[in-house]
Amino acid sequence: MIAKSPNAAGPMTAAIQLNCRALLVDDEPAQRFLLGRLLQDAGAVVETTVNGHAAILAIQAAMFEDHPFDIVLTDLNMPVVSGHGTLKMIRRLGYRTPIIAVSSDDRGDTRDRCLKVGFDAFVDKQHAKETLVPTVSRLI
């Protein structure tokens, strides 16, 4: 659903409303807060974890409870299990929900590498305010 709403920057902009359950995986508390807030402000129910291992446990619990996540967003560079490792483990579980790589890695080929290994989308953290919600909306 798209609704018109005022933006802090001034003019009216289209606000996308998300009706989904999202798992956000990032080892940085500030990033979990900021990215989670963007998703929550758009209507998503957000659960967070600090690394890929914790994400797998959350996904398994959600599957067991028959209340799976609609989308997973994961940082690439994390301790314990990286974003790429998280992607592989999630797919080994047979979980086919969309997975978005979220990173501040600004090398030009990061997006292409992520898509090539199986992520459904890539969001650059520096542009998350503009791109995160539309990307999630497109995939759910």
φ, ψ (nearest 5 deg) of residue 8: -60, -25
Instruction: Determine the structural domain holding residue 44 and report its residue range.
Output: 2-139
* Global confidence as pTM: 0.87
The CATH number covering residue 7 comes to 3.40.50.2300
Give residue 22's region: left, alpha or beta (phi > 0; psi -120 to 50): beta
> Over the stretch 54-107, which tens digit does the pLDDT of each residue have?
999 999 999 999 999 999 999 999 988 989 999 999 999 998 999 999 998 867
Q: Which residue has the tokens 């998503």?
A: 44
> Would you state the pLDDT for residue 16?
87
Contacts 24+ apart (CB under 8 A), 61-68: 62/21, 62/23, 63/93, 63/95, 67/21, 68/21, 68/95, 68/97
- Contact between 23 and 59 (Cβ < 8 Å): yes
Q: Which residue has the tokens 């994961």?
A: 74
- The token pair that represents 125 in the structure block: 């953290």
Count of domains observed in the chain: 1
Decide which of 52 and 9 is more confident: 52
Provide the pLDDT confidence category of residue 5 given band limits of 50, 70 and 90.
Answer: very low
> Over the stretch 29-60, which tens digit does the pLDDT of each residue have?
999 999 999 999 999 999 999 999 999 999 99
pLDDT exceeds 60 at position 4: no
Q: How many CA atoms lie within 13 Å of 106's alpha carbon, on the beta-carbon side?
A: 4
Q: What is the CA radius of gyration of the chain?
A: 15
> Would you state the pLDDT for residue 15?
83
φ, ψ (nearest 5 deg) of residue 92: -65, -25
> Would you state the pLDDT for residue 14?
55
Q: Which residue has the tokens 């969309």?
A: 98
